Amino acid sequence: MIRPDSPLKSIPKITPKYQKVLEKMGLLTVRDLLFYFPFRYDDFSKTVELSQDHLGESVTVEGEITKTKLNRIFKRRMTVVEITLQDKNGTPLKAVWFNQPFILESLKERAIVRLSGKLEIRGKYFSMNSPAWEKASRDATNTGRLVPIYSETSGISSKWIRWQIKPLLISAREIPDVLPVEIRKKFNLYDIHTALSQIHFPDSKEKLIRAQKRFAFQEMFLVQLKALEIKNQWDKNNSIRISFEEELIKNFVSRLPFKLTDAQRKASFEILKDLEKSKPMNRLLEGDVGSGKTIVAAISSLQAISSGFQVAIMAPTEVLARQHFESFCKLFENYDFNIALLTNSYKLINCHPRPDRGSSLDSRFHKNDKKRSGLLQKISTGQTNLVIGTHALIQKDVKFKNLALVIIDEQHRFGVAQRAMLQGETMHISDGKNNTIPHLLTMTATPIPRTLAIAFFGSLDLSILDEMPRNRKPIVTKIVTPAGRKEIYNFIRHEIASGRQIFVIFPLVEESKVLSEVKAATEEYKKLSEIFSEFKIGLMHGRLKAKEKEKIMKEFKNKKTQILVSTSVVEVGIDIPNATVMIIENAERFGLSQLHQFRGRVGRGEHQSYCFLFTENSSTKSVSRLKAMEKTNDGFEISKIDLELRGPGQFFGTLQSGLPDITMENLTNIRLVKCAREEAQSIMHLDPRLKKHPLLADELERFSKHIHLE
């Protein structure tokens, strides 16, 4: 008897050839296959008689095959199958398939069949090109209905998947329903068997939507349960109470060369009040590029260090870690703080406290690459107050004397698994204190609407910087077609003549394409070196070593190079106030939020800045999407448009989240997220260990293996 936990290899129709492919897709059991959902549906539910009224529509036609024909085109090595079908009124239709001669084994003359596809006219006849088909005697699976389309792979088609799933649906009756009956009744949700049947073979669009709602609710409910579970575990820990010294903070803020925004003041206050608690802070600081997250982190660090504790700041790249190191050295130059940079490349770089005013920042660094142990000793004995680095900070040989605060910057740049590990490591980091864990502050420059942040980061408290520093000039953004390049190149010459600098970006799409991206950037570097032969041009990409990247960035920062050609390694954190022009090549290939991140690398100084979106694609859809960048500099508004256009799946990255497409698509359903959270809170309040909900506990454990939440 076939059960949900039966291995797919025990199903007679699934031969070893298919088993191997399914295994690669992560489908091992009947249950796995049943939960392999379609990503879209072809609507062939409209069965019609042949008529010009339906031209251009996707329809289903039923009739008798009156003629079959196989043509071979030897020059093109092609076969063409052609059949003629008559509907019940005797109206003929010709259907053709290319390179599928095997179809004639099933579609023989006098057979009654259903064909589904786009109805057209070719010559005197109605026609369909490569329609879906099946014999009329069969239950509608591939025609005559909403037909599910699955993500396919070599050797496995949607048609094959449909044929396997349909007879297996009966076993879904044995799958225990993890959603409590009272919740299903309250929100009118299908039971698990009905939901699975309707998600694969919906009887109507209404029933499909109801099935999708059921699974979206279930996944979101589990997300919220998991988030609350993490929060409960986190809250069981103790942390060091750090008193809020108002005079200390006021004095620091009064010496800053700029005025804090109200949003910065509010976020700083929320964090400082969290630090006073005996429960560890777990807060997400979310702000647009250039909104001033660094200064909020500095205020938090100042309070912790002044109270006699250590602070660790973690960045995703060595370039960004180095920049934080320089920034914090400047911010704390009037304090007796020892600040260190620890990465895989930098074994020891110390910033000396109270440097001579006349000395350059570089001359204040003490470097000794061979003696990592010396720095580790200073950290373990508490001589180093602030340690800045990459994930090298959580290696086992790094021990602190009294670590009280961990700050993770650009946390969205760490992979999901890394982020989950970082929070776990924060709980187990050797902080020198028994029975306590450090407070945790994570920061991101990707603006996410509050509801989505709660959905995704339900275990964190949230502070939002939704206000830009005063006197910040909006960046002028313009879409540039190939015909406009020359004009922009002349504009660049004018900017450089005025003492300004230029970024040219080739954003990296996927890790697997790193070599082609490096090649594209290198070719652009050579091309621009000819166009701008009078200027010095730098080239930076992800395959360079940290020291090489640092040298290139240093030359750019010190104005030795006027143009920097780069891949996406400059997406976040790089701060060059003198750079006023950002050119983004192939801009149409990227989400608006990512383009906004790149744009944020300019506009950081007193000069007017510009962002030029170079595009080879002149389609209306592509250009209209990019126009949002021309209209606004508000990252929250950009992210809202990006979400509407691409959906949360692409916005967050489904693979990054571990969540299925169906849940991602429903993340913007505010009511659904809110209801799922309320129900999860209610259950966790009454039954925090889920002892009264064993099915839910088992499902949550299974779910936890596929998803990571901060």
CATH number of residue 369's parent domain: 3.40.50.300
Residues 546 and 504 both lie in one domain: yes
Question: For residue 653, is it within any domain?
Answer: no
Yes or no: say if 708 and 658 are a contact pair by the CB < 8 Å rule.
Answer: yes
Structural domain that includes position 339: 246-276+292-444
**Which range, 280-284, 315-319, 596-600, 658-662, has the best average confidence (pLDDT)?**
280-284
Report pLDDT digits (tens) over 482-539.
Answer: 889 999 999 999 999 999 999 998 765 444 455 555 666 778 788 888 889 999 999 8
Alpha helices per DSSP H over 236-371: 246-254, 262-275, 293-306, 318-331
Interval 200-229 mean pLDDT: 91
Average per-residue pLDDT in the chain?
84
Residues 31 and 68 in one domain: no
Assess if residue 131 is contained within a domain.
yes
pTM above 0.75, yes or no: no
Region 643-658: what's the mean pLDDT?
56
> Do 585 and 608 share a domain, yes or no?
yes
- For residue 64, being part of any structural domain is answered with yes
30 and 46 co-located in one domain? no
Same domain for 393 and 530, yes or no, is: no
- Say whether both 5 and 126 belong to one domain: no
**Does residue 710 register a pLDDT over 50?**
no
Residues 119 and 6 in one domain: no
Please, where are the H alpha helices in 431-562? 450-456, 485-497, 514-531, 546-557
pLDDT of residue 576: 84
How many structural domains compose the chain? 4
Three-class SS state of 441: strand
Q: Is residue 400 part of a domain?
A: yes
Task: Please report which confidence band the pLDDT of residue 34 belongs to, taking 50, 70 and 90 as the band edges.
Answer: very high
Same-domain check for residues 302 and 408: yes
Asked if residues 178 and 694 have their Cβ atoms less than 8 Å apart, the reply is no
Is 106 exposed, middle or buried (CB count within 10 Å of its CB: 0-12, 13-18, 19+)?
exposed
Q: What's the confidence (pLDDT) of residue 550?
A: 78
Is residue 368 pLDDT above 50, yes or no? no
Mean pLDDT for the stretch of residues 43-51: 92
Query: 391 falls in which pLDDT band (50, 70, 90)?
Result: confident
3: domain CATH number? 1.10.150
* Of the residues 421, 444, 467, the one at which a domain ends: 444
Report the range of poorest mean pLDDT among 96-110, 196-210, 256-270, 280-294.
280-294
As a whole-number percent, the residues of the chain with pLDDT over 90 amount to: 48
Per-residue pLDDT band for 276 (boundaries 50, 70, 90) equals very high
If you average pLDDT over residues 251-263, what whole number do you get?
A: 93
**Distances in whole angstroms, Cα of residue 85 to Cα of each of 109, 536, 559, 580:** 9, 70, 74, 66
Confidence at residue 235, expressed as pLDDT on a 0 to 100 scale = 85
47 and 33 both lie in a single domain = no
Q: Which two tokens stand for residue 433?
A: 């204190």
CA–centroid distance for 244 within its chain: 36
Contacts 24+ apart (CB under 8 A), 131-137: 131/95, 132/42, 132/44, 132/159, 133/95, 133/103, 133/107, 135/106, 135/111, 136/62, 136/112, 137/112
For residue 600, the model assigns a pLDDT of: 85
